[in-house]
Structure 1
Amino acid sequence: MKKHLLFLVFISIITIAQGQSTLTNGQVYDFDIGDTLQIRYNTPWNSQVPYKYETRVVLSKTITTNSDSIIYTIKSTFYTPPSTFSTSVITSTITNLSAIAPLYNNTSPCMGMLLDTMYFNSCGILVYKKYPGPSVSCTSQPFQQNTYLMKGLGGPYFDYFAVAGPPPENYYKIELIYYSKNIGTCGSLITTTKDVEKNDEFYIYPNPSTGRFTIKNASVIDQLIKLFDLTGKLLLEQTTKGEITIDATYLKAGIYNLQIKNLGAVLNKKLIITH
């Protein structure tokens, strides 16, 4: 059954699976023929270039005679909204299946100061995560911050991936937003501009309200929420993702503009407050 849930969202209690403290290559890159993943590549914060979406479908799987390597043939399709597609067939070889899966492809002064954890995300997938400790200041280039591997879903995925130049203009996200495997389906597959708009859409309820209302959106990335009166005066500003309840009962009855902004779009909806 399809789960319309968000990826990389913490559950309230972090659960360690059977005492595991990391994941092996064989666990992370365990795919079957027909498995489908979609990855979203976010553009820099100061860019108007749209997201890119890569859909990967496993076409074949070959296990070597010593059972220590797997060769996958994968169909990779990149979609850049509104209508640009490019497709190729690639070969990926996973070796040392029993070895610990690496998270980093570069050297960084922050690597020795990172913490790690394992938990089940909201789709029920075991995730291994590395993240900076509270006193870490990662300013040298390049570095990855909040990096993830997922059991049976590959990686690494990044909350922010700095490539060059001063932050935050250079920050990217590499996110898994959809999968379909024998264990089930989770997320929303993006193949059209309507899918993009639907994924960015948000809902307000109740509306009208007495000033206490809930905002729910389907995006997996951070959203900047702003509330304006009809003169354009900013009354409230907050960052969130997923679902949040806001108490604005202190505001006068009237019509307000609620704006939600992420890296790809700015959406506006009318909010009505009554007393």
Structure 2
Amino acid sequence: MGSDFRKIVELTDVKAEDLMSIFERASDMAQLWRERRMPQSLAGRRIALVVNETGWRNTTAFDLGIQAMGGICVQPPLRWDAHEDLHDLTAYLGNWFDAIVTRAPQLSILRSVADSFDGPVINARTRQNHPCETLGDLAFYYHKHRTIDGIKVAVISPKSNILGSWVEAAAVLPIEVVQIYPAKWHDQKSAEAVSRFSCSSDIKAIEGSNIVITDCWPEGADPAELMGYQVTDKMLDGLPDDVEFFPCPPVYRGKEVSAEAMRHAACRVIEAKAFLMHAQNAAMEWVFGEG
């Protein structure tokens, strides 16, 4: 393995100019995918996809994307929180694999995996962050608008892994991110640390947003406390004409979004999630020093 490989555990691991190059390359990847002429930039690369958790979109996209770019993808049935020592596990994987794409229950575990593995590591999700999901959404926005400078992102969500990576994005990129939710679910610590991230309990803080993100209601929450934060078609009507609405799957109509909002012209979640794979493919090239 060469010394020019990189790792993506948090978006703050990547410089702004490199994130922008990933978005640009994701646009190229989208075209190449449609034309069925994917670059074989992972030819000869062997990637371990270590996933023993629920969810399927971004891990399926990794598996398919790696194969489409000529790589070999294998899913070892191991868990990082099992009885074997983590450093032993990464050493065993290092015997056979050039890179690891993985989920872990805790960000600290995934960071330890990245620190101990001598090769690229990409975070496919933890309970604290989900960098690929945010990469995909921003890549789609950039593909459509050709810029992200100065955009406002409203994340209508409790403190969650989705919000976590939008905070990371705000720490690196020239975007403003606001969390809109009842105060007891605010990520106040991040608001104090990241100047382009803020929290609000006022749904009117959505005004002027270029991107609207939602996440699932907290388990056991009182619906009466959260209905005022449900994204509706009327709410979307009051936003800029070019607003992009990306409710985070899984989407629960009648809870965080209304059924009408899912049919609104601003709702482009299907198109945005197509870019999940294109952005991940671009990231795979980047971590191997190809970009």
Could you say which structure has the greater relative contact order, defined with CA pairs below 8 angstroms and 6 or more residues apart?
2
Q: Which has the larger radius of gyration?
A: 1
TM over 0.5: no
From the two aligned structures, give the one with the greater strand fraction.
Answer: 1
From the two aligned structures, give the one with the greater helix fraction.
Answer: 2
* TM-score class normalised by the smaller sequence: under 0.3
